Amino acid sequence: MVLNENTTTTEDSFTQAQTPVKYNLPVSVALRLKFNIKKTANENLYISSCIKTGNTLVFTEQINDRLIIYNSDGTDIYHIPLSYTPGYITEIDSNTVAVSYGYHRIVLIINISTRSVTSTINTSRHCYGISYNDNNLYVVIERSIIDVMDLTGKVIHTIPVPTDDINDITVDRDRLVCIDDTSIYCCSLDGKVMWKFKNDEFQDLTSVTTDDEGNVYVTDVKKDIVVVVSDDGRHHRELLTQSDGLDKPWGIYFDKKENILLVCNDCDAFLFDVKKR
């Protein structure tokens, strides 16, 4: 799919980062693979989050309380049953993930190779979006703060967030990107807002990821789209829509090594090759 070159800048709806950066939005995406995760017509699934680690795809599935593991060619490997309903997921290493469990106030560290929970971290309050960076977990607590903790659960420090309704977060390099239902916030690692992106067209943002150049990708579950925003917050595009097969997309993950974007509906998964300028 070739993207429309006529992008829109929303000068009044974001705070510009102090240091200008080049305009480097992706210009095209190409579908590599689409597959249905549902095994039978009567099976009900709800995929809420996803990651790609190497050639392995990991999905959190909420109706049946489990992780679903696939090969990147779309073949099923196995499921990992869980005692709680999983929320958001982040990669720690090629064999290990961390999963937040909202109202249960815990984060589980899970080895996806041995299919075992290796440790349980208790959080102070309900936990939501989660990201791993530089040996630390960044966990959204009660949608209103971010606790930075080591893998034992020791809280190193707490980061304030610009709104009390944060859903998801991703941390990369020296930036923290978080979203609420309508806005994207790019912050320094101490919580200072570098820029904010808001557009009245987007009202139900659900998950966020970034590529290796800092561009931000978000799913909008109500509009059935993926939006990409440039790394300075100045430009945006609807990268994927219903015409690409999206139907209430929730999970999203960018594989920076292979320039592959993973997106999932409640029971479908898509792998897109992202081509840069």
The residues that bridge with 198 in the sheet, in sequence order, are: 183
Residue located via tokens 């917050």:
233
Phi-psi region for residue 265, left (φ > 0), alpha (ψ -120 to 50) or beta?
Answer: beta
B/e letters for 136-155, b = 16+ CB within 10 Å, e = fewer, are bbbbbbebebbbbbebebee
Q: What is the pLDDT at residue 39? A: 77
The residues spanned by each domain of the chain are 8-275
Strands 127-133 and 260-264: unpaired
Angle at 164 between CA 161 and CA 165, to 5 degrees: 105
Q: What is the pLDDT at residue 131? A: 98
> Which of 69, 88, 92 is closest to 206 using CA atoms?
88
- One-letter amino acid identity for 77? I
CA–CA separation, 263 and 227 (whole Å)? 12
Q: What is the pLDDT at residue 225? A: 97
Phi-psi region for residue 149, left (φ > 0), alpha (ψ -120 to 50) or beta?
Answer: beta
Whole-angstrom CA distances from 128 to 39, 223, 259 are: 28, 22, 26
Q: What is the pLDDT at residue 23? A: 56
Is there a contact between 234 and 16 (Cβ–Cβ < 8 Å)?
yes
B/e letters for 23-38, b = 16+ CB within 10 Å, e = fewer, are ebbbeebeebeeeebe
Q: Which CATH architecture has domain 8-275?
A: 6 Propeller (2.120)
CA–CA separation, 275 and 225 (whole Å)? 18
- Stated as kind and residue range, the H or E segment containing 196 is strand 193-198
> Which of 255, 277, 275 is closest to 1 using CA atoms?
275
Per-residue pLDDT of the chain (277 residues; tens, 9 = 90+): 434 433 444 433 444 444 444 556 887 899 999 999 987 778 899 999 999 999 999 999 999 999 999 999 999 889 999 999 999 999 999 999 999 999 899 999 999 999 999 999 999 999 999 999 999 999 999 999 999 999 999 999 999 999 999 999 999 989 999 999 999 999 999 999 999 999 999 999 999 999 999 999 999 999 999 999 999 999 999 999 999 999 999 999 999 999 999 999 989 999 999 998 7
Q: What is the pLDDT at residue 6? A: 36
CA–CA separation, 17 and 186 (whole Å)? 9
